[in-house]
Amino acid sequence: MSSDTKVTPKHDVIIVGAGPAALSAAIYTTREDIDTVLFERAVPGGLAAVTDWVDNYPGFPDGIAGLDLGSNLQKQAERFGAVIELGEVLSVKDEGAWKRLKTTNGDMLARAVLIATGSDYKKIGVPGEAEYYARGVHYCATCDGAFYRDRKLVVVGGGNSAIQEAMFLTRFASHIDLLVRSTVKASDVLQHELQKYIDNGKITVHLGTTTDEIVGENNEVVKVTGTKDGEKVEFPTNGVFIFVGLKPNSEFLAGSGVELDHLHLVRSDENLQTNIPGVFVAGDIRSGATMQIASATGEGATAALKLREYLEGHTHPIQN
């Protein structure tokens, strides 16, 4: 058969991503015999799977390794018939009754699409950052802060999230060095609140200070080196929390017509449907999401129910 006459595979639902929201949705759709394929370009389980330890997911009083949580979600979805394709969705195009997805595995058609690609933490790209990820380098204070009770920490960043997370981390850490490349750019309210932590000695702010390298010994982070006023500086620490923003995984939606907000997160209505009928969104990629694993799985379940309602109202039997 020539490539010109090759039949494009069709599915009821294609889910872009395979993190907690996506896998939760797949558990619900496949249990109802809705043909579901997930596309994941990295690791099934999403950011949860590469988080060292998850202490705030309901039902695990002693916590659970992120890798185990992601693996369990994957196995559960696959048990009901979900198919996970390792590949990348390059674009989504609305063709009315069908949505065309261009992927690294070829074109596919879906009656409905769920966007659940999540976000990725912005990296600062210094030596040691990748090497010690989840072993001393973190991007989520609520996820990992409790591991550093009565220990020293370095926080990198000067925006709202960095200040908020640094203040949160004082619940655990004995002291925090806040490294700010230029000046603190957080809101006046947060800066006023930050001053209280500076005054009581819990946080020391280092303005005009770059983060040049995260140094470890015996598989543990021991210090951060930087530059201030042209001079090398060192900050002994047990861990580093980096808060320089999130990068939504929404690049593939360029030109799709799917509406994004100013942060490039996907807008939706109260039914988790985007401005394109049949294209839904759930999890961290959704505008207004709370960026927590528990809420992502809940949104995935809700999205699955809305997908079913949409499919029931738009009957187009699959005929390859």
Residue 5: the pLDDT is 52
pLDDT(50) > 80: no
Tens digit of each residue's pLDDT (9 = 90 or more) over 221-254: 999 999 999 999 999 999 999 999 878 999 999 9
The structure's pTM equals: 0.73
Q: Which domains does the chain carry? A: 10-120+246-313 (3.50.50.60), 123-242 (3.50.50.60)
User: Average pLDDT in the 161-181 region?
Assistant: 95
The C-alpha atoms of residue 58 and residue 240 are separated, in whole angstroms, by 26
Contacts for 114 with CB less than 8 Å, ≥ 6 apart: 13, 14, 15, 16, 22, 25, 280, 281, 282, 303, 304, 307
Chain segment 279-311, per-residue pLDDT in tens: 999 999 999 998 889 999 999 999 999 999 999
Q: Does the pLDDT value for residue 13 go beyond 50?
A: yes
Output DSSP code: residue 260.
B
pLDDT average, residue stretch 97-107: 96
How many Cα atoms within 13 Å fall on the side-chain side of residue 213?
Answer: 8
> What confidence score (pLDDT) does residue 152 get?
98
